Every structure is written in C-alpha cells, then in structure tokens.
C-alpha cells in the first residue's frame, strides 16, 4: 500500500510509523522528567522553555509547538488558574504553585504530545488532590481506549472520574488524533455519553488530554490570545499522553524506556 491509510479523515498508522512515534514519545517523556525536576521556586517559565529547547536539540528532535499558528514557545507553561497554552516568559514560580508543562516534539517527521502538572515545592492538599484526580481521569480515558471500543467511551470515562470528585471538566478544548501533524482527526472530547462515535481501530494514534478545574468547567482566553484561564479563577490541572490503539489495551507512547 502506498501512502497512509485514511478512514473518513482518520489516519491509521503502520507499525513502522508507530515505531517512529514511540521514539518521539520516549524522548519527550525524558524531557518532561528533566522539566519536572527544574520546576522549583525562583525559576521562571521562560527558563523552563529554554531548558526544553536545549534538551530537544541534544536529543535530535524538533519542537512541534514553536510557530504553530504563531505560538512563540516550545513548551506551554500554565500556572494555577491557567488551564492550557500559557506562554513561557518572565513569570517566576513560587512555592505552592502548580504548573502544567505541555510539550510536543517531532522525530523524523513524527509527533508526540504530552503534558504533566506538577507542584512547585510544597503545595496544598487541595492542589495535590486536583492533580491526582486529573491524572486518574486521563488514565481512565486511556483504559477505555481499547480496540473495538467507541471514541466517546474515552471522554465518558474521563468525565466520570473528574466529576465524581466534584470537579469541572473543560469542554472547549479537547484531545486529538496525532501523527505527522500535531492535530489530526478525530477530536477527543473529555466528556459525553458512552458508545458513540467511531470504533477505535488498531494503529489509530490519539492524544488524550483532560483539563480539569477545581471549580466550574467554563474558560476564558487571556489578553495574549493564547493563555486559557478558568472563568471562576479556580485552580486547573492538565495531563496528556499520546497513545496508539491496539487489539486490546492501548500502548502509551509518551513514556520513558524505563517506564515502558
Ligand atoms: N497539547 C496542546 C494541544 O494539543 C498543545 C498545543 S500548544 C500550541 O493543543 F502551541 F502548539 F498550540
Ligand atoms: Co495535545
């Protein structure tokens, strides 16, 4: 077969293509480990962007966010009530903050996209719980993404976990297909009824990325036209993995070799 297999706008990857995305994912996971270690009081979000860019150069990958619709960083740094797409700059991290670190790399033309939210120094019990529940909601979404399941089973699983804790799941921003482009079809909402949408087929690669607010789900875009805030100024957390659908449980591509 020549060229990618396209099914209704959704591109299914070959094992060889998945291998390149796995390589991208491993490298990205290592970079996020380094960034997590540097998210300390006194460090600026711009410092983290520079560290991320240096790590990419050293590891032979290209940043995927830089220049994407004019985005100025290689990393998104979203602090406290910032949900996603925070632009790195002069902001100084302080003890008790939480920061979302969202990064994307390209290896030999193939993308990986992943995010973590981490505490800066010691953080409140409420912030820790929000991060734990958000990570758990992502894991539930990934667990629901089995070959033969339906697309909306993912969002339903995410929403169930987040709302059981009393949190709001962001509606206006969603996960996505991923491959040679950062954003491919299908969109992957983090809410909804189960059993709807396309049947998940082996080789489909998805970025599953719940954004969970301690308060309501409503959002507001800031004056820089990028940073997305919670409308009610409540804390927000974000986790993301790139996965590939298989016959059974999905494989997470954005993990380190050691964790795989
Ligand atoms: N993980 C985010 C997303 O999928 C990151 C994109 S930021 C951008 O939308 F700068 F690339 F736009
Ligand atoms: Co993404």
Q: What is the DSSP string of 31-62?
A: HHHHHHHH--TT-BHHHHHHHHHHHHHHHT-E
- Structure tokens of 97? 């903050």
Do residues 144 and 153 lie in contact, with contact meaning Cβ atoms separated by under 8 Å?
Answer: yes
Question: What's 232's DSSP letter?
Answer: T
pLDDT band at 2 (very low <50, low <70, confident <90, very high): low
Do residues 141 and 194 lie in contact, with contact meaning Cβ atoms separated by under 8 Å?
Answer: no
Which pLDDT score is estimated for 144?
98
The mean pLDDT value for 184-190 works out to 98
Rg of the chain, C-alpha, whole Å: 17
Q: How far is the CA of 121 from the centre of ligand 1 (A)?
A: 26
CA–CA gap between residue 194 and residue 174 (Å, rounded): 16
Output phi, psi for 32, to 5 deg.
-65, -30
Question: Using one digit for the tens of pLDDT, what is the confidence trace for 101-156?
Answer: 999 999 999 999 999 999 999 999 999 999 999 999 999 999 999 999 999 999 99
Report which protein residue has its CA nearest ligand 1's atom 2: 102
From 130, 77, 102, 49, select the one nearest 240 (Cα to Cα).
Answer: 102
Q: Is pLDDT above 60 for 211?
A: yes
Cis amide leading into 186 (omega within 30):
yes
Do residues 237 and 220 lie in contact, with contact meaning Cβ atoms separated by under 8 Å?
Answer: no
Pocket test of ligand 1: the residue of 76, 117, 175, 187 to mutate, having most ligand atoms within 8 Å of its CB, is 76
Q: How far is the CA of 176 from the centre of ligand 2 (A)?
A: 6
Label residue 251 exposed, middle or buried (CB < 10 Å: 0-12, 13-18, 19+).
middle
All domains of the chain, ordered by start, with CATH?
15-204+212-248 (3.90.230.10)
Q: How far is the CA of 126 from the centre of ligand 2 (A)?
A: 25
Q: How far is the CA of 122 from the centre of ligand 1 (A)?
A: 28
Is 241's C-beta closer than 6 angstroms to any atom of ligand 1? no
Q: What pTM was computed for the model?
A: 0.97
pLDDT band at 3 (very low <50, low <70, confident <90, very high): low
Is 240's C-beta closer than 6 angstroms to any atom of ligand 1? yes
Label residue 225 exposed, middle or buried (CB < 10 Å: 0-12, 13-18, 19+).
exposed
Question: Using one digit for the tens of pLDDT, what is the confidence trace for 69-101?
Answer: 999 999 999 999 999 999 999 999 999 999 999
Report which protein residue has its CA nearest ligand 1's atom 8: 65
Is 102's C-beta closer than 6 angstroms to any atom of ligand 1? yes
Which pLDDT score is estimated for 73?
98
Is 184's C-beta closer than 6 angstroms to any atom of ligand 1? no
Mean pLDDT of the chain: 97
Question: Using one digit for the tens of pLDDT, what is the confidence trace for 225-242?
Answer: 999 999 999 999 999 999
Question: Using one digit for the tens of pLDDT, what is the confidence trace for 17-28?
Answer: 999 999 999 999
Kindly give the number of the ligand 1 atom that is closest to the alpha carbon of 173.
9
Output phi, psi for 95, to 5 deg.
-50, 135
Ligand nearest to the backbone CA of 84: 1
Q: How far is the CA of 65 from the centre of ligand 1 (A)?
A: 6
From 117, 118, 121, select the one nearest 95 (Cα to Cα).
Answer: 121
């Amino acid at each position: 077969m020549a060229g990618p297999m396209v099914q209704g706008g959704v591109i299914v990857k070959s094992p060889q293509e998945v291998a390149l995305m796995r390589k991208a994912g491993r490298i990205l996971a290592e970079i996020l480990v380094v960034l997590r270690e540097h998210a300390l009081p006194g460090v600026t979000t711009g410092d983290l962007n520079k560290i991320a860019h240096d790590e990419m150069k050293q590891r032979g990958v290209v940043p995927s966010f830089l220049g994407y619709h004019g985005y100025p960083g290689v990393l998104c740094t979203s602090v406290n009530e910032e949900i996603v797409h925070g632009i790195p700059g002069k902001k100084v991290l302080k003890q008790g903050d939480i920061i979302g670190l969202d990064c994307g790399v390209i290896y030999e033309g193939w993308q990986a996209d992943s995010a973590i939210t981490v505490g800066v120094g010691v953080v409140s019990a409420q912030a820790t719980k929000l991060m734990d529940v958000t990570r758990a909601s992502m894991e539930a979404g990934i667990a629901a993404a089995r070959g033969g399941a339906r697309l909306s089973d993912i969002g339903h699983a995410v929403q169930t976990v987040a709302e059981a804790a009393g949190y709001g799941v962001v509606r206006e921003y969603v996960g996505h297909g991923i491959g040679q482009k950062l954003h491919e079809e299908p969109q992957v909402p983090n809410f909804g009824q189960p059993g709807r949408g396309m049947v998940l087929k082996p080789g489909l690669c998805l970025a599953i990325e719940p954004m969970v607010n301690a308060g309501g789900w409503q959002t507001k875009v800031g004056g820089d036209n990028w940073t997305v805030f919670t409308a009610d100024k409540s804390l927000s957390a974000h986790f993301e993995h790139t996965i590939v659908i298989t016959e059974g449980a999905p494989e997470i591509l954005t993990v380190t070799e050691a964790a795989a």
